[in-house]
Amino acid sequence: MMPVTGKTFSIEARELWFQLRQAPLQEELLRPVFVWGVGLGTLLLLVALLVRDSGLKRSALVLMGAAGLAVIPYLQLRTEGARRLPPRTDLSAKVTRLRVESRWVFLTLGGLALGTAVFGARTRYGGALTAATVVAGLGATATGLWLAAHEAGAMPISPRPLFPLPRNTMEAPPRSLPGR
């Protein structure tokens, strides 16, 4: 095992940055946000309501809003990644269609959560906004789990071999992506 030096770390950091710029990998990293981000935010919001902690409530609402609105870059990355990969199966195309058709669930949750974070304490409807956000969070978590189950059925094997393989890390990464 080679000790980590400043030069080795620099090469590894550039390789990691190169890999993170790949659209399929970004899509793969964003996919769990819809289940874990929304689910954790909903759980934190329920805990904040039980312990009556306004800071935790605001943090949970911001987390839910950010996780819900993450559907926008995710769907863009999914279409960009689909153009670079080999032709997809009918089942994979069905899952993509389901994700596009269900984006309203996450967009609604994102807007509702951020609206509640900003206006919830200032209006007399704050309790109703918070309750609606909890219900929307539970629904979005269920929708995210449902989509993840369909995604798992559409991809019986891991899509990871379709990503660019890491290069030999002893050489510097290229300055631009191939094909650009």
**pLDDT tens-place string over residues 73-86:** 888 877 776 665 55
User: Is the CB of residue 38 less than 8 Å from the CB of residue 137?
Assistant: yes
Mean pLDDT, all residues of the chain:
77
Length of the chain (residues): 180
Q: Which tens digits make up the pLDDT trace of 13-68?
A: 777 777 767 766 776 777 788 788 899 999 999 999 999 998 999 999 999 999 99
- Amino acid residing at 163: F
Minimal CA–CA distance to 102: which of 68, 66, 143? 143
User: Is the CB of residue 141 less than 8 Å from the CB of residue 38?
Assistant: yes
Residue that is written with structure tokens 């950091």 in the block: 13
Domain residue spans in the chain?
23-155
**Rounded CA gap, 74 and 61, in Å?**
20
- Amino acid residing at 31: R
Residue that is written with structure tokens 């071999």 in the block: 161
pLDDT band of residue 96 (cuts 50, 70, 90) is confident
**Rounded CA gap, 119 and 114, in Å?**
8
Prediction pTM value = 0.69
Displacement of CA 37 from its chain's centroid (Å)? 8
